[in-house]
């Protein structure tokens, strides 16, 4: 649950906002377009400011609040705020936001316009690392607001796919430079440009997977499985909970997953659709062991202490993974951005608490779609 703040900015010809009547005309156009989304919109307050501008507050059922400001110099800003409860869809989707922006820009003959970051406020407990993006959409460029206090810009031009599974919201968007990008619950996961992410996670050129038994936890985009199979392992089992993610990636991200998501079982690999923790428990009970276990799951949370549901899940994955490893086996996983020093330290502290004791090394790589350097962990028994 969080407060959603949606921002639109436009630059108009100053000659069209020079007088009070002209600014009123602009305000009417804005309201007409917003009413396509907020059908019960009402004007709560308006005024002409001392600096020669116009300001208005509108609302829908006193829940969604919209402010509009028009400057005589030609600037137009629109702020939309509302509360979004857990499990509810945003009031303004990708297509809706783009339509509103384009319609206003067209009817006002705007010189420039864009929809700025959708800010999620008042939900700090659910913040994730710096790859966790909140996406907003405009044409021709899209701003992505990063949750580690960075703001970066993606050149997204198309929403390729959007659906909601029982577990999460799934989107695939197209970037002119990064290709198709997988976004889960508005968090950037992987793009067609991100082979370096997969290669660094698996330690290509360092680890020898030939003839080895491997378990992947998560990995629903199929990229890790696809690259591992090139290394001629004995067998790979992948535990992924979300069938719909795999279907979407098989169709729209096959440049990174090949055809491995076409089938659920072959001589080389098996994809099991279900809760990885439950299947790990079953493997442990059966005495099954692996040379490598990959944690391709939850990012490390950004938090001041290792408490909460996400940290509990990470500790559960640690506990079960090392029960599945052979004595000389390795647990390989991703961390988060190298700038997130506090969260990485908390993660490493959890590793040091494990029994039997483990030791770890790290590697790092610049991941194009994250637009930052990312840290990866290689963990073995001490």
Helix pair angle (20-34, 94-107), 10° resolution: 150
Three-state secondary structure call for residue 368? coil
Which strands make up the sheet holding 156-164, listed edge to edge?
Answer: 156-164, 169-175, 179-184, 187-191
Is 350 exposed, middle or buried (CB count within 10 Å of its CB: 0-12, 13-18, 19+)?
middle
Q: Strand 64-70 vs strand 235-240: parallel, antiparallel, or unpaired?
A: unpaired
CB atoms within 10 A of CB 346: 20
Helix pair angle (341-352, 309-324), 10° resolution: 40
CB atoms within 10 A of CB 182: 27
Which residues lie below 8 Å from residue 14, measured CB to CB, with a gap of 6+? 72, 73, 74
Whole-number CA gyration radius for the chain: 24
Q: Which is the catalytic residue, given 194, 221, 291, 296?
A: 296
Side-chain half-sphere exposure of 53, counting CA atoms within 13 A: 12
CB atoms within 10 A of CB 253: 25
Tell me, yes or no, if 296 is annotated catalytic.
yes
Show the beta-strand stretches assigned E in 297-324.
none
Active site residues: 296
């Amino acid at each position: 649950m969080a407060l959603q703040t949606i921002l639109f900015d436009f630059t108009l010809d100053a000659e069209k906002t020079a007088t009070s009547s002209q600014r009123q005309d602009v305000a009417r156009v804005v309201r007409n377009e917003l009413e396509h989304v907020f059908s019960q919109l009402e004007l709560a307050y308006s005024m002409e400011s001392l600096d020669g501008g116009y300001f208005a507050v509108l609302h829908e059922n006193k829940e969604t609040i919209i402010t509009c400001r028009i400057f005589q110099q030609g600037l137009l800003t629109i702020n939309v705020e509302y509360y979004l409860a857990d499990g509810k869809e945003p009031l303004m989707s990708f297509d809706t936001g783009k339509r509103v922006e384009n319609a206003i820009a067209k009817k006002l003959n705007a010189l420039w316009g864009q929809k700025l970051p959708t800010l999620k406020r008042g939900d700090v407990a659910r913040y994730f690392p710096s790859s966790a993006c909140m996406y907003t959409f405009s044409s021709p460029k899209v701003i992505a607001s990063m949750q580690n206090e960075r703001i970066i810009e993606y050149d997204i031009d198309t929403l390729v796919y959007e659906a909601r599974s029982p577990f999460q919201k799934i989107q695939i968007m197209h970037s002119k430079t990064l290709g198709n990008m997988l976004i889960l619950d508005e968090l950037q996961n992987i793009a067609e440009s991100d082979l370096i992410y997969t290669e660094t996670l698996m330690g290509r050129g360092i680890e020898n997977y030939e003839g080895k038994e491997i378990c992947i936890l998560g990995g629903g985009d199929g990229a890790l499985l696809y690259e591992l199979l090139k290394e001629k392992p004995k067998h790979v089992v992948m535990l992924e909970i979300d069938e719909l993610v795999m279907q979407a990636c098989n169709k729209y991200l096959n440049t990174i997953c090949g055809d491995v998501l076409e089938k659920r079982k072959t001589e080389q690999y098996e994809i099991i659709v279900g809760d990885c923790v439950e299947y790990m428990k079953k493997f442990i009970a059966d005495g099954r062991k692996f040379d490598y276990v990959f944690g391709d799951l939850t990012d490390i949370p950004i938090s001041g202490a290792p408490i909460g549901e996400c940290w509990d899940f990470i500790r559960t994955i640690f506990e079960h993974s090392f029960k599945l490893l052979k004595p000389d086996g390795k647990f390989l996983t991703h961390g988060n951005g190298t700038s997130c020093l506090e969260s990485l330290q908390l993660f490493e502290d959890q590793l040091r608490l494990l029994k039997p004791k483990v030791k770890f090394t790290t590697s790092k790589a610049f991941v194009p779609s994250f637009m930052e350097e990312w840290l990866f962990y290689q963990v073995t028994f001490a």
